[in-house]
Amino acid sequence: MTALDLSSPVAVVGTGTMGQGIAQVALVAGHPVRLYDAAPGLARKAADAIGSRLDRLVEKERLTAEERDAARARLTPVDDLSGLAGCTLVVEAVVERLDVKQELFRALEDVVADDCLLATNTSSLSVTAIGGALRVPGRFVGLHFFNPAPLLPLVEVVSGFATDFGAATRAYETARAWGKTPVACADTPGFIVNRVARPFYAEAFAVYEAQGADPATVDAVLRESGGFRMGAFELTDLIGQDVNESVTHSVWQAFFQDVRFRPSLAQRRLVESGRLGHKTGHGWYDHREGAERPEPHTAEPAEPPAYVVAEGGLGPAAELLDLIREAGIEVREAEEDEEDEGTRLALPSGGQLVLADGQLSAEFADVVYFDLALDYRKATRIALSHAGHTSSETVAQATGLFQALGKKVSVIGDVPGMIVARTVARIIDLAVEAVAQGVATEEDVDTAMRLGVNYPLGPFEWSRRLGRGWAGALLDEMHEVDPCGRYAPSLALYRYACATDQREDTP
């Protein structure tokens, strides 16, 4: 199957932001495009708005005047569904209600030919359920664009239970011909991005609800240590708290209230109070004119230790040893009988500095945990956590050590897995499970998470960097501390951790 021919008319039903964006993508790619909206006059207004955006593309020298004029000539608003007859692809972008979408597509089947591709841009409803109302469900597929559609490259091409392989392939190739990066996935709650991304928000909210850190500090750690473009609190303020919570609730319900997808009570209270983010002027942050942005917690300067003792190779944090040496701090090696594969530094105070492993500082006599970083050399902030009984000397030496490496230090509460580590571990777990269930390939999951939500690495890229067993080991420890089921690693993750290129061991 190949992409639709450029002479083939494409229709977009629904002329809101997404509908206009999808229409613009198809139009610029070279198709004749027809716009329809059930509300009288909206299709013509949408056509005018698209024309204005084409003008701006000419001003930015992304289109020539001739290309703009040709595109405008191919754009036709229609006042009735019958005006979509003869189209080879119809993309729906109407309200997120199953009954509305089903009724629309049943009506479309009376207008278009049986070989016309029908596609929904739904982000939260079941493609299978929408297509289940159709006479010819095999030609029905999900084409989930991301907002703004003309700018963001990712398109999730979703096959429902009844979708024909040929229809999905043609939709995939068409999206690619439009200059997008398509990823193929099966119809699962949240598809790829909205399923795998849930822990990014959920774990930030969980740390906040446990009084581990305030929103500004969590966001700063996710950005400056984890390498994420935005923190969870600022991102949900941008998305809209009501929109983000609605997706979370939809995925949770679709997975039969699986505790791993449980919504946040703190976010529910925010929505109930009308603090929805930028669009209302207040969310987790105050976005009103003149409001001051809260600063993340940053520790006061402290003296670094004269030396550290490396007990093990520090695992994913191994590059810290070079940074410590470069800062002029002596790195001593542990006695041979003490060496292991641990991730610890012994401090002159007698305490230990340990990479987040899912346990609590409260479980040990004198331990400070430090969080995972995408790149310890480039990270500008590191989070530390400790228990109430941890010695102040150990905390000060741990703080001074990272400050000597040029990092800002945020000291947070004693929460298992800290911030970045628990977030990345849970993202990896959901991604591995999705692949094991046939939702998508590892490559497509990584592509989707990098392009759809701007993650610095895809889940499998993280896993290759950290080691196959890292996420499962951390989640095992978190589950031991908090056995609610939320952190129990999936069976798929266990199998993934056990897998190697060649198994030499036999039962």
Instruction: List active site positions.
Output: 123, 144, 156, 194
Query: Strands, DSSP E only, in 257-387?
Result: 307-311, 330-333, 344-346, 352-355, 367-370, 381-386
Parallel, antiparallel or unpaired: strands 140-145 and 408-412: unpaired
Distance of CA 69 to the CA centre of its chain: 38
What kind and span of H or E run contains 27? helix 17-29
How many angstroms separate the Cα of 486 from the Cα of each of 205, 261, 281, 391, 479?
14, 8, 33, 32, 7
363 DSSP assignment: G
User: What is the 3-state composition of the chain as percent helix, strand, coil, each rounded to the nearest 5?
Assistant: 45, 15, 40
State how far the Cα of 29 lies from the Cα of 177, in Å rounded to an integer: 8
State how far the Cα of 504 lies from the Cα of 415, in Å rounded to an integer: 38
| Residue 409 bridge partners (DSSP) | 382
Is 307 in contact with 338 (CB distance < 8 Å)? no
- The backbone torsions φ and ψ at residue 440, rounded to the nearest 5 degrees and listed phi first, read -165, 170
Is 228 in contact with 455 (CB distance < 8 Å)? yes
Quick one: CA torsion of 279, 282, 287, 289, rounded to 10 degrees? 90
Quick one: CA torsion of 332, 338, 340, 344, rounded to 10 degrees? -50
Neighbours of 349 (CB within 10 A): 18
